[in-house]
Amino acid sequence: MTSPLPSSSAASAASVLDLAPVVPVVVVEDAADAVPLARALVAGGLPAIEVTLRTPAALDAIREISGSVPEAVVGAGTVITPDQVTACGEAGARFLVSPGWTDALLTAMRASGLPFLPGVSTTSEVVALLERGVREMKFFPAQAAGGTAYLRSLAGPLPQARFCPTGGIGPDNAPEYLSLPNVGCVGGSWMVPADAVAARDWSRVEALARTASLLRTAGGTCR
């Protein structure tokens, strides 16, 4: 991440990695759900929200959250092209997350002026980003790429790199990731289960978010 977050009533942290132990990874099918969903997550203590660009409603969802839930720090995930970087910035995204990176994508994300988390899954990718001045990254797909054992191994030779692991992380293994010195937060979707969103059960989402927000201090599981 190369620049601090814009000022927000939600938090004064300089990095998405420091806002909360968990960043909800959200797939929005209907933009009308975006605002109540974001409000439930914020009320539960998870202000940083990654809306993935996996549905036609994603940009509208980012726009709605940005305009109506100022206490949320809404970001865009699954960003893979420079054009998407531009579109997300115009929609009001406050940070960007990519599953991987290329020089062209990295240049576009840096030029946007927004904080960003480029995805990595190998030591060489981490070193290449450090060489380019990027110290905060998404580790993806976390479980498939080696999980906590891999990240623990990186902490010794590359202590300057910090990660948001995402992919295969849930309430049972999140605390182990969060205990690592090079993990700032984790990304996951268990606090936004599809059936709760479909039923618009925002109280359930808020309850799950609240438990997730306590993971780092509680060291327990979140169900």
CA distances from 48 to 16, 26, 86, 157, 220 (A): 7, 11, 20, 29, 21
Measure the CA–CA gap between 32 and 30, rounded to whole angstroms: 5
| Catalytic residue list contains 50 | yes
* DSSP assignment letter at 193: -
Say whether 48 sits in a helix, a strand or coil: strand
- What lies within 8 Å, CB to CB, of 217 at 6+ separation is none
Give me the helices (H) in the chain, please: 34-43, 58-68, 82-91, 103-112, 123-131, 147-155, 174-178, 194-198, 202-213, 215-218
Selecting among 64, 136, 138, 206, the annotated active-site residue is 138
State how far the Cα of 161 lies from the Cα of 174, in Å rounded to an integer.
19
First to last CA, the chain: 30
Residue in 50, 64, 136, 206 annotated catalytic: 50
> Of the candidates 175, 177, 176, which has an alpha carbon nearest to the alpha carbon of residue 222?
175
Q: Please check whether residue 55 is in contact with residue 24, taking contact to mean a CB–CB distance below 8 angstroms.
A: no
Q: Which residues are catalytic?
A: 50, 138
